[in-house]
Amino acid sequence: MIEAVLPQASLLKKIIEAIKELVSEANFDFSETGIRLQAMDKSHIALSFLHLRNDGFSEYRCDRSQTLGINLESFSKVLKCAANDDQVQIKATDKAESLSISFESTAKDRVSEFNVKLMDIDIDSVDVPDMDYQATVNMSSQEFARIVRDMMTIGEAITIDATKQGVKFSTSGDAGEGNILLRHRKTIDEEDGPSSTSVEINEPVSHSLALKFLANFAKAAPLADRVSINLIEDAPVMFEFKISDMGHIRFYLAPQIEE
Amino acid sequence: KGQQGRIDSFFKIS
């Protein structure tokens, strides 16, 4: 038996919106400690990783570990039937064939219930080793979304250069080229404002990445004020959006490699 | 310009 309650449906809506473009169907692994999801996109270029801890839910019960295969488009459609402030409960019995999702209004005078069919999804999962990143950029997630949008007007690939001075995003295309530099601030405090950027660096590092994937990652911006971009030579770049007090979404993107 | 890498060429499939 699985039962999980979130006080606001908007959080679950944002989580599903952040990954549904990259992953059409995914296995949700429920255990005593919480929910995990790992899925690659069809082209195996990006890996989405979601972790929601049990203590982030207002109620959480998982009698035995269970994997539920869910079509994210269907999940998203059902979640659109909830008001943002509705309480949402998801429930599945052992060996269930569907996931029950119910919404209760704040006044508790309206309760709706939907069932989404579960599916067997046979997908490869990968081992992500712990890595010592050479550089970590911590920046506003809104700023990240804006840079991705701006760069996409010019090119299809983006180069991220992290140095002690800051982080530079650049692109080029048939129409021309452009770059945006965010200077490193030592401390991120109120004086600097929430839009400031920090770059923790051991060694300068540079990666070229496909912009269309970053545009998908930027869909997680409503979940978190900040995003961290973790870079290491010759390995996928990791983008992390923390989900307040309960977990995170991480996206790993394979870099472009020299031919 | 480089060629697009794949996640499974960096991380092992378990």
From the list B2, B8, B12, which residue is nearest A256 (CB)?
Answer: B2
CA distance B1 to chain A (A): 7
Per residue in A52-61, pLDDT (tens digit) is 999 999 999 9
Which residues of A lie inside 8 Å of B (Cβ-Cβ)?
40, 43-47, 124-129, 157, 208, 210, 234-236, 252, 254-259
Nearest residue in chain B measured CA to CA from A208: B2
The whole-angstrom separation of Cα A44 and Cα A47 is 7
The pLDDT value recorded for residue A187 is: 63
Structure tokens at A116: 């989404």
Model confidence at A194: pLDDT above 80: no
Cβ-proximal residues to A246 (8 Å cutoff; 6+ apart), any chain: A52, A53, A55, A56, A57
β-sheet bridge partners, residue A3: A61, A91
Name the band, by pLDDT with cuts 50, 70 and 90, for residue A245. confident
Average pLDDT of A192-196?
Answer: 72
The pLDDT value recorded for residue A166 is: 95
Q: Which residue has the tokens 């839009």?
A: A195
Average pLDDT of A63-75?
Answer: 96
Point out the least confidently predicted range of A17-31, A118-132, A155-169. A118-132
Average pLDDT, chain A: 94
Model confidence at A192: pLDDT above 60: no
CA distance B6 to chain A (A): 5
Contacts of A29 in chain B (CB under 8 A): none
Model confidence at A180: pLDDT above 80: yes
The pLDDT value recorded for residue A27 is: 97
The whole-angstrom separation of Cα B10 and Cα A190 is 39
Q: ipTM score here?
A: 0.92
Is A254 within 8 Å of B3 when comparing Cβ atoms?
A: no
From the list A46, A125, A258, which residue is nearest B2 (CB)?
Answer: A258
CA distance A43 to chain B (A): 8
Q: Degrees (nearest 5) of the Cα angle A252, A196, A21?
A: 30
Point out the least confidently predicted range of A54-63, A115-124, A191-200. A191-200
Is B11 within 8 Å of A255 when comparing Cβ atoms?
A: no
Model confidence at A193: pLDDT above 70: no
The pLDDT value recorded for residue B1 is: 54
Name the band, by pLDDT with cuts 50, 70 and 90, for residue A25. very high
The pLDDT value recorded for residue A4 is: 98
Q: What percent of chain A has pLDDT over 90?
A: 90
